[in-house]
Chain A
Amino acid sequence: MTTARIDARFAKLKQEGRAGFVAYVMAGDPDRDTALEILKGLPAAGADLIELGFPFSDPMAEGPPIQRAAQRALAAGMTLRGTLDLARDFRETDQDTPIIMMGYLNPLLSRGYGTFARDAAAAGIDGVIVVDCPPEEARPLAAALDAAGLSLIRLATPTSDDARLSVIVQGTSGFVYYVSVAGVTGVKEADADEVAPHVERVRKASGLPVAVGFGIKTPERAAAVARVADAVVVGSALVDEVAKAVERNELVTSAVLSKAESLAKGVRFARTGQPTKTTV
């Protein structure tokens, strides 16, 4: 079972008494080779899990940073197959860091859920987050992923009441993704105090670790959320580094990885305070 990788990672984090840092990057952004370099560098930069976005023409839950990342990736020719190839190449150097694919349903539907799930498992993918899955499609998608040993990671929001929550987390595995602000990615900022009681609610309803994302951009904010959540997801701030580096004609990989490193430090030492001697 591939889900084992997610469970093992959260068990390790629990043992270390800290939250995990989840780095979101877009497959193929700004091009395939650079994206692979970034992926391969993320674990050493402190990413405990990786969310690998696959591009879609109409990313309606995304704010401008990830919208643009998807457009860059599509312009560079990235596809669903290409995204899986990236993951497979990453797995040559890393067997332990879970990879969660994140994106929209239509490319998966177009490929066929069963084919996609088998190929994804073979490429070393551990879970999938689908932002726009209509209710009638959730069951067949979950069944196909399940059969291949992949988790369909569910999204909970501030407006999911307890009744909705119990429906959302039914039969889920791995972890639950708590969307911390009402809105799209990369615009509003998350407030750790507001997030805390919701995280507790989602933990209780699901019995699973809770990752918090949307609206976390700085190491300070990441640290604050890391004190109340099991994992902290940062996406827009990382893909913005791609955009900035491309624009200034600077090295994309080092820009993204150094940003990831500072965010990872914020998360890693959130509960214990920054150590004076050791670094990540």
Chain B
Amino acid sequence: MPLVHQLDAAYAAAKADPAFQGELRSFLTHYVGRPSPLYFAERLTEHFGGAKIYLKREELNHTGSHKINNCMGQILLAMRMGKTRIIAETGAGQHGVATATVCARFGLPCVVYMGAVDVERQKPNVFRMNLLGAEVRPVTSGSATLKDAMNEALRDWVTNVHDTYYLIGTAAGMHPYPVMVRDFQAVIGQETKDQVLEAEGRLPDAVVACVGGGSNAIGMFHPFLNDEGVRLIGVEAAGEGMGTERHAAAINGGRPGVLHGNKTYLLQDHEGQITEAHSISAGLDYPGIGPEHSWLHDVGRATYLTATDAESLEAFMLLSKLEGILPAIESAHALARIGDVAREVGPGGVVVLNLSGRGDKDVATVAAHLGRTI
């Protein structure tokens, strides 16, 4: 794919250009609202009775999740490359909304591919994208979910590469996307490092994040890679349970393979056909995981746990009641394991949870699972 060579070169040049970095920093400050706070969750800490728990408040970013960090970086790159049309894939619609938002801000036409099944499940986000001026194209091929939306976006890209930029939403896909998305999300870990040093005078014992394609997790992990005392913990979606076939845990329940141009852990059958992921959270519903996570797992630098739908729902309600924060159901997967981590580290320790998004988008899902009508 020669189109990625062009992107690779353009990104390398932008990365090394102080003007590009300065422009990005300015938009992150004034438009996205960075830095996001690092908040000591006192009541959550008391509840579990272990290490001090801090929340990195990515849910307070404009559009309500970490996704916009990456979108801002990539749209500035797209404009620098002279591209005039933006396409993206989305599952839950969070990345689609963030992409539609930056496209509106910079006046670029935006097409978002979304599995037809997800279009049905996530109607409010489809409408939000429309309000922002984006065209949402339902994808009916394959299983009509996130991976198929990604396939369709790739097809559009190879057909229209002369004027079109493909704004991928997670740290997966072919090189240079995993590296580039990680770089744009690494602001999460960098800020966390400074903030925790300021608050505690030391590095945390562990950082914890949910893992779909892996962008919020790798953004949190990356600046700590060389700090060996900091445990890196990712939480995959176990759906209805790891003993069932209905989960989305590529590392815990898959094996290495190649999809979308990169080698990584994948959910697949014994013939190497990609199987569908299942999770209560559409944002974690991807059968793969970014290749850097696969590597961190293989070398043992990061640990990947799982949380089921039910555990995540419970965590969703716990944080709402104890801290007055509705977490995204994706982030609630990380929350579902934070108690175990905090107790393992023990009192006197410090752990940070990346609260990747806010939960307003999920209230209907949560209500449905509680058997309530709203």
State whether the Cβ of B151 lies closer than 8 Å to any Cβ in chain A: yes
* A110 and B268 contact, Cβ closer than 8 Å, known pairs A164-B5, A182-B161, A183-B158: yes
15 example contacts (A-B, Cβ-Cβ < 8 A) are as follows A56-B272, A60-B150, A60-B154, A61-B155, A67-B141, A67-B142, A109-B272, A110-B257, A134-B262, A134-B263, A136-B263, A159-B3, A183-B155, A183-B160, A184-B158
- B155 near A109: Cβ-Cβ < 8 Å: no
* A61 and B258 contact, Cβ closer than 8 Å, known pairs A108-B272, A136-B263, A164-B5: no
Main secondary structure of the interface of B (DSSP, over half): mixed
**Bound Cα distance from A108 to B273, whole angstroms:** 10
| Residues 56-73 (chain A) with a chain B CB within 8 angstroms | 56-64, 67, 71
Main secondary structure of the interface of A (DSSP, over half): loop
Interface centre among B3, B142, B260 (most CB of A within 10 A): B142
**Bound Cα distance from A105 to B256, whole angstroms:** 12
- B273 near A74: Cβ-Cβ < 8 Å: yes
Is the interface on chain B under 10, 10 to 19, 20 to 34, or 35 or more residues?
A: 20 to 34
Instruction: Name the A residues within 8 Å of B5 (CB-CB).
Output: 164
**Bound Cα distance from A57 to B271, whole angstroms:** 10
A63 CB contact (under 8 Å) in B148, B155, B174, B258: B155
- B268 near A58: Cβ-Cβ < 8 Å: no
- A106 near B174: Cβ-Cβ < 8 Å: no
State whether the Cβ of A187 lies closer than 8 Å to any Cβ in chain B: yes
State whether the Cβ of B266 lies closer than 8 Å to any Cβ in chain A: yes
**Bound Cα distance from A62 to B151, whole angstroms:** 9
State whether the Cβ of B66 lies closer than 8 Å to any Cβ in chain A: no
- Beyond A57-B274, A61-B158, A134-B261, 16 additional contacts (C-beta under 8 Å) are A60-B150, A64-B141, A71-B141, A106-B259, A107-B272, A107-B273, A109-B272, A110-B271, A133-B258, A134-B262, A134-B263, A159-B3, A164-B2, A164-B5, A183-B155, A184-B158
State whether the Cβ of A32 lies closer than 8 Å to any Cβ in chain B: no
User: Nearest chain A CB to B155's CB is how many angstroms away?
Assistant: 5
Count of residues in A whose CB is under 8 Å from the partner chain: 37
The 0/1 profile, CB within 8 Å of B marked 1, for residues 128-166 of chain A is 000011101100000000000000000001011100100
User: Nearest chain A CB to B174's CB is how many angstroms away?
Assistant: 7
B266 CB contact (under 8 Å) in A56, A106, A107, A157: A106
**Bound Cα distance from A56 to B261, whole angstroms:** 14
User: Nearest chain A CB to B188's CB is how many angstroms away?
Assistant: 27
State whether the Cβ of A13 lies closer than 8 Å to any Cβ in chain B: no
* A110 and B272 contact, Cβ closer than 8 Å, known pairs A136-B263, A137-B263: yes
- B273 near A109: Cβ-Cβ < 8 Å: no
The 0/1 profile, CB within 8 Å of B marked 1, for residues 38-82 of chain A is 000000000000000000111111111001000100100001100
| Residues 118-173 (chain B) with a chain A CB within 8 angstroms | 141-142, 147-148, 150-151, 154-155, 158-162
- A57 near B142: Cβ-Cβ < 8 Å: yes
User: Nearest chain B CB to A116's CB is how many angstroms away?
Assistant: 10
State whether the Cβ of B270 lies closer than 8 Å to any Cβ in chain A: yes
* A60 and B272 contact, Cβ closer than 8 Å, known pairs A132-B261, A160-B2: no
- B141 near A134: Cβ-Cβ < 8 Å: no
